[in-house]
Amino acid sequence: MCGFYGEFRRDGRLPDLAALERASARLAPRGPDAAGSFQQSGLAVAHRRLKIIDLSEHGQQPMVDNELGLGLVFNGMIYNYRELRETLREKGYRFFSTSDTEVLLKAYHAWGPRCVERMHGMFAFALWERDRPGVLLGRDRLGIKPLYYAPVDGGIRFASTLPALVAAGGFPTAVDPVALHHYLSFHAVVPAPHTILSGVRKVPPGCLLRLGPDGTGEPEPYWELNYGPAEGDEDKELVDWQQEVGAALRTAVRRRQIADVPVGVLLSGGLDSSLIVGLLAEMGQRDLQTFSVGFEAVGGESGDEFEYSDIVAGEFGTDHHRIRVPTSELLGTLGECVDAMSEPMVSHDVIGFYLLSREVARHVKVVQSGQGADEVFGGYHWYPPLVGSERPVRDYRRAFLDRGQRELRALVHPRFHGRNHSGRLVTRHFAQPGADDPVDKALR
């Protein structure tokens, strides 16, 4: 959903427009519908657009409001933008588009940087003021949308994807030792602010980063989730939890139907995606397009779940698409799959997911999926060992970390032999306030 790149100079020189062109070209697959750029003294930005909200040219980016003296590049979706727009209208603001991008601009003018606290959605953005040197970078609460930045000689570059920054260049691209440790032991996840590259950092989830006239700044959190029990939780019965979870799911699914284009569903036939289809049907959704992917059987083991997705599609009358991927296509697509990654990933299903997404894009621009339920509901194998644990740090590290120090050192060059960064990360997070139960600590 869109992509952007920018450079902010603090040394009086103009931004490198050749670097901007390279980054913009690298972002083209993220935004095939439109392209734009903007330059103002020491700032230059580029944007690639995928049209989801306000399909007209009024929603084009970079978006500049000369009356307010503000400019913005934005990637994501603000689900409650219509409600916010009405509130802003009542405050006297006038709108030239029906886009959520313009709502973010006006909201910043009305409420300042903390306007993000009013927004439900997923987003990464860079916002600037005409009469105030600097740039404000912002990322959504859970970090669904990435946001990277890299100090360069005399300035700083930022982008919504890591490959766009690499295309622009100007910073060290050696492997970050801390990030490599996380990558090889922390389930291939490199937590913010690190990235796999030593010269690049990412804005942490739920944070704002204001780059002042000198090009420096520190991320500041605007949101934190309390993982401990809320007041009154101990008095709730099973039916109360069922009703609350059901209400939350309905809200989440309804919000993600906000679009000016059709929204489909990736339907595996499992519990999570089947719930989404059922809830959409309950809400009166008609002509819903659903998509399933399947592979060739190997050793008598079925390579698809069409049996189950067909049942769900038939029950709710969806326009169902079965996408079959021949084995011969898997290895041949590996390069494209890696090229589409914003950061290195390790997963057996990334090629299948890439091929599914490529085929789905021929039909719809937006889909809902059941990804993430195990993270929310504690569905993985490392949660049960923490129930009642008296040594949660030890038990979590044993269950979650992929390999110990000895095995890791056998894999990498001696220059990457250092501290147990992933173990220290777990220890530090488990010591933070706001989660006393071992399972709550692990969920956080």
337 classed as catalytic: no
The Cα–Cα gap between 208 and 140 comes to: 9
DSSP structural state of residue 273: H
Distance in angstroms between the alpha carbons of the first and the last residue of the chain: 27
CB 28 within 8 A of CB 22: no
Neighbour-count burial for 155-183, b at 16+ CB within 10 Å, e otherwise:
bbbbbbbbbbbbbbbbbeeebbbbbbbbb
Q: Quote the CA–CA distance of 207 and 415 in Å, as a whole number.
A: 32
Residue pair 46/35 in contact (Cβ under 8 Å)? The answer is: yes
CA distance 436 to 227: 9
Kindly give, in sequence order, each residue whose CB lies less than 8 Å from that of residue 227, ignoring residues fewer than 6 positions away.
434, 435, 440, 441, 443, 444
- Residue 265 is which amino acid? V
Q: If 0-12 CB within 10 Å is exposed, 13-18 middle and 19+ buried, where does residue 53 land?
A: buried
121 burial via Cβ count (<10 Å: 0-12, 13-18, 19+)? buried
Provide the annotated active-site residues: 2
